[in-house]
């Protein structure tokens, strides 16, 4: 079965093509073709990077409305061609950020599912529109192909009510105000991969996974089941992030509206795009830029970094409390995988758990490795999350 994976975000589009047989493999397969469309480049338009047939090609893309067609054309034309026709694709799997309370597993996309994704745009305004756009474009280009939604919220549907329900009027919960959690595809993959790396049954492990990218979240996973997470009703809650504030006193936005006349749109922009590392440092939401500024003596950058680490350590502590212990701590995503200083400072703050990092291993650009010392009571893994592969497996599972 040929499975095309579309992982759309507000500023990028990651895509892969996998070939899977009837028996699902136990190890990761390399994609036949992969593409990354980046809209954050300085020039007008975007850059499409395609890898296949042992080569890499870059293409300038001028318009968003034709970008996916340009991306798909590289499957069937030019040096990156791996198919004779797009009709060879059997199914398309989409990452969908918000599936609400209803969808707890990968789901074949129907008009009802599309409407549900659209209805949830207000809860994930920077992601669900891009997910829906990809679904609609595939419907136009390949009207006969089956499509599957793999929801980022699905893994967190197992969290208990004591975690899920906010201390607000209960009728709000009945109206859908609850903790949903996000990054679930990544958290679930990392938990399963941890068991493989450590060669231990997943059911025997208490794991905290740290997905640290521009967006950041933690998950507490007991015996393979998510029991707690930091993101909630929206991807804004929880840890300090690149440009998002994370959890703050809810009175603050009310105060800024009353005293300074900020409206809802202005607050939304500030809380999502102008806060976090960027807001405190005044420089950037990119951890690499923050670390560089610290080396140059920038005091605000140092403060932003210190707040980030403080909130990360206390967030992990809360997850450990939910688990009543910890066997494995996982770092993944852009910051988690690549920032040795973030891992070092976080590990130092968790020494009370008996966690001890091997600083040499930590500094050696580890990938899918244990960087804890032999004496550490907690295993510490640095992992390259494979969301696209997880989406492919979840999509294939819908066709036994």
Domain ranges in the chain are 2-151, 199-383
Cβ–Cβ under 8 Å, residues 224 and 192: yes
Query: Where does the pLDDT of residue 217 fall: very low under 50, low under 70, confident under 90, or very high at 90 and above?
Result: very high
Q: For residue 157, count other CB atoms closer than 10 A to its CB.
A: 19
Answer yes or no: is 336 a known binding residue.
yes
Residue 261 has pLDDT above 70, yes or no: yes
How far, in Å, CA of 13 to CA of 357, rounded? 35
Query: Where does the pLDDT of residue 43 fall: very low under 50, low under 70, confident under 90, or very high at 90 and above?
Result: low
Answer yes or no: is 387 a known binding residue.
yes
Answer yes or no: is 215 a known binding residue.
yes
pTM of the model: 0.91
Query: Where does the pLDDT of residue 24 fall: very low under 50, low under 70, confident under 90, or very high at 90 and above?
Result: low
The more confidently predicted of residues 46 and 374 is 374
Query: Where does the pLDDT of residue 29 fall: very low under 50, low under 70, confident under 90, or very high at 90 and above?
Result: confident
Q: How far is CA 244 from CA 12, 115, 166, 213, 238, in A?
A: 18, 28, 21, 11, 10
Domain 2-151 identical in fold to domain 199-383: yes
CATH number for the domain running over 2-151? 3.30.420.40
SS3 track for 154-180: HHHHHCCHHHHCCCCCHHHHHCCCCCC
Answer yes or no: is 64 a known binding residue.
no
Query: Where does the pLDDT of residue 22 fall: very low under 50, low under 70, confident under 90, or very high at 90 and above?
Result: confident
pLDDT tens track for 270-286 = 999 999 999 999 999 99
Answer yes or no: is 212 a known binding residue.
yes
Place of tokens 């300085």: 42
Answer yes or no: is 334 a known binding residue.
yes
Answer yes or no: is 240 a known binding residue.
no
Q: How far is CA 372 from CA 361, 382, 384, in A?
A: 8, 10, 17
CATH number for the domain running over 199-383? 3.30.420.40
Answer yes or no: is 214 a known binding residue.
yes
Residues with a catalytic annotation lie at 152
């Amino acid at each position: 079965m040929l499975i095309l994976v579309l992982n759309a975000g507000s500023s990028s589009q990651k895509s892969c093509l996998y070939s899977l047989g009837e028996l699902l493999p136990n190890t990761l397969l390399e994609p036949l073709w992969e593409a990354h469309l980046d809209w954050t480049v300085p020039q007008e338009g975007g850059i499409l990077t395609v890898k296949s047939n042992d080569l890499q090609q870059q293409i300038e893309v001028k318009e968003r409305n034709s970008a996916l067609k340009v991306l798909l054309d590289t499957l069937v034309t030019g040096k990156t061609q791996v198919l004779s026709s797009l009709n060879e694709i059997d199914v398309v799997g989409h990452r969908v950020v918000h599936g609400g309370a209803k969808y707890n597993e990968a789901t074949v996309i129907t008009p009802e599912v599309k409407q549900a994704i659209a209805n949830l745009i207000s809860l994930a305004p920077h992601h669900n529109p891009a997910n829906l756009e990809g679904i609609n474009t595939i419907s136009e280009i390949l009207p006969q192909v089956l499509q599957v939604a793999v929801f980022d919220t699905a893994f967190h549907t197992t969290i208990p009510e004591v975690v899920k329900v906010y201390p607000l009027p209960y009728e709000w919960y009945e109206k859908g105000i609850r903790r949903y959690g996000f990054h679930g595809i990544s958290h679930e993959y990392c938990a399963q991969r941890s068991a493989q790396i450590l060669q231990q049954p997943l059911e025997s492990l208490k794991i905290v996974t740290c997905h640290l990218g521009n967006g950041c979240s933690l998950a507490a996973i007991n015996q393979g089941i998510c029991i707690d997470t930091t993101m909630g009703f929206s991807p804004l809650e929880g840890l300090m992030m690149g440009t998002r504030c994370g959890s703050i006193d809810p009175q603050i936005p009310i105060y800024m509206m009353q005293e300074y006349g900020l409206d809802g749109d202005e607050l939304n922009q500030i809380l999502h795009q102008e806060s976090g590392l960027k807001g405190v440092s005044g420089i950037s939401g990119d951890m690499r830029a923050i670390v560089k500024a610290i080396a140059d003596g920038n005091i605000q950058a140092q403060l932003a970094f210190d707040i980030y680490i403080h909130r990360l350590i206390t967030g992990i502590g809360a997850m450990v409390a939910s688990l009543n212990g910890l066997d494995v701590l996982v770092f993944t995503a852009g910051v988690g995988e690549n920032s040795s200083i973030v891992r070092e400072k976080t590990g130092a703050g968790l020494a009370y758990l008996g966690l001890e990092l091997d600083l040499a291993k930590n500094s050696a650009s580890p990938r899918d490795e244990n960087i804890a010392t032999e004496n550490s009571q907690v295993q510490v893994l640095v992992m390259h999350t494979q969301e696209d592969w997880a989406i492919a497996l979840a999509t294939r599972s819908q066709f036994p």
